[in-house]
A and B are shown apart, each in its own frame.
Chain A
Amino acid sequence: MVKAALRVFALATLIASSSAQAQEKFIVVASTTSTQDAGLFGHILPMFKAKTGIDVRVVAQGTGQALATARKGDADVVFVHDKLAEAKFVEEGFGVDRREVMYNDFVIVGPKADPAKVAGKDVIAALKKIAAAKSPFASRGDKSGTHAAELRYWAEAAVDPQTGKGTWYRETGSGMGPTLNTASAMNAYAFTDRGTWLSFRNRGELSILVEGDTRLFNQYGIMLVNPARHAHVKKDLGQRFIDWITSPEGQSAIASYKVSGEQLFFPNFGK
């Protein structure tokens, strides 16, 4: 019995120590699933690590969850795309040094047959037509940055999508990928960021129908979790990441990321 307990303890210590080794130089960044699914981090983080030796551990959640994680002090840096929520975050004292990093754009995808005839450049008109035609529409419904943006466009179109709840407006309550999976299976319209769409492999009958509307630009911001609020935050390492990603080097790293020859994210710090 004693021998067994000792073995258990030894193993537990082994596990703990292997995480302790890695404890040398790393930060936890709470970010969004759309950035992860688009593959951006796989491209730029190795460059940062090569330069500084700092390991960036990205926990990818929806914007709402990422901010909640940061609020509790479980991350050092937060990197999301919801300007209003970010501003509130700073206002409440949980974040400092907010900087704009890059933007990508949203698109509306839908069945090639386009029953609601939305194809074109006008996102607001498209949403009005989808609501009028009561065509199936898959929404993330998960308080993410993408979901918040989607709701703002519905508001601008003066449509309350909740009137279609349970019939044509389908809230999946999940990330971009699962929502696209659902849209693909249901042959529904969906609102997505271009990055996720370009890396998405299960398109079925769907393709991009609405793009290029300047209103569809999606701004990403980065913040340091306020060390005054959470003393353990790795403020030096975190600051270095923020400095790097807004430096010319980091910004061009972002610009150099392409999927199928297309650039997904457009750096715009300081512009």
Chain B
Amino acid sequence: MSTILPLVVRDLTFTIAGNPVIRDVSLDLIAGSRTVVLGPNGAGKSVLLRLLHGLLVPTSGTVRWSAGESRRHQAMVFQRPVMLRRSALANIRFALDVAGADGETEARAREAMDRVGLAHLADRPARVLSGGEQQRLALARAWALQPQVLFLDEPTASLDPAATRAVEDVITAMHAAGTTIVMTTHDIGQARRLATDVLFLHQGRLMEATPANDFFQQPRSAEAAAFIRGELLW
């Protein structure tokens, strides 16, 4: 299995109805990082993630992975988890079947649920689970696919602190097991907790791409500094 990283992005632009939502973004994504895409609401974080994952087609610029069929080695978790109307376990098995797994999907699915601490809910209908449980289920589904890159779009924005903590623990565990993490958030505290690298977006432009420590101690741009201080940016 070839590695799809590093990801090389050059001059990425995305316009909606003439409006540039992402402007001339260039970045490199290397294996092993926990990259947090930070920025105020409306900065274009979600759009950027979707462009990288291939859910949106760039208006101009390139998104180049290091191997073909790249999306097979990626997974994405959305702010609101999308579950099928079937049991929690069946949702994971569905993802495995679609990915072309042959046979032992039940065992792999149960293992994934176990790793996120949801083994006792395996046969419960997915949609009756709480928000936090569903999000952990979404992570289990992603983990079962053993992705090289995991994208997460504001995964805990709708969750309470306890659920947020549980989700962050899973993300950390997946990273430890070898998955490169790319995550958006507008919560600075979460960024501080999780990031090894920070991409700071403002009005569609990539203002900074630095290791986390450097970013938080010595932001290079005025906008980043203001953001860290907690000011409103527009």
Q: Determine direct contact between A and B, CB below 8 Å.
A: no
Instruction: Tell me the A residues contacting B by CB distance below 8 Å.
Output: none
| Chain B contact residues, CB within 8 Å of chain A | none
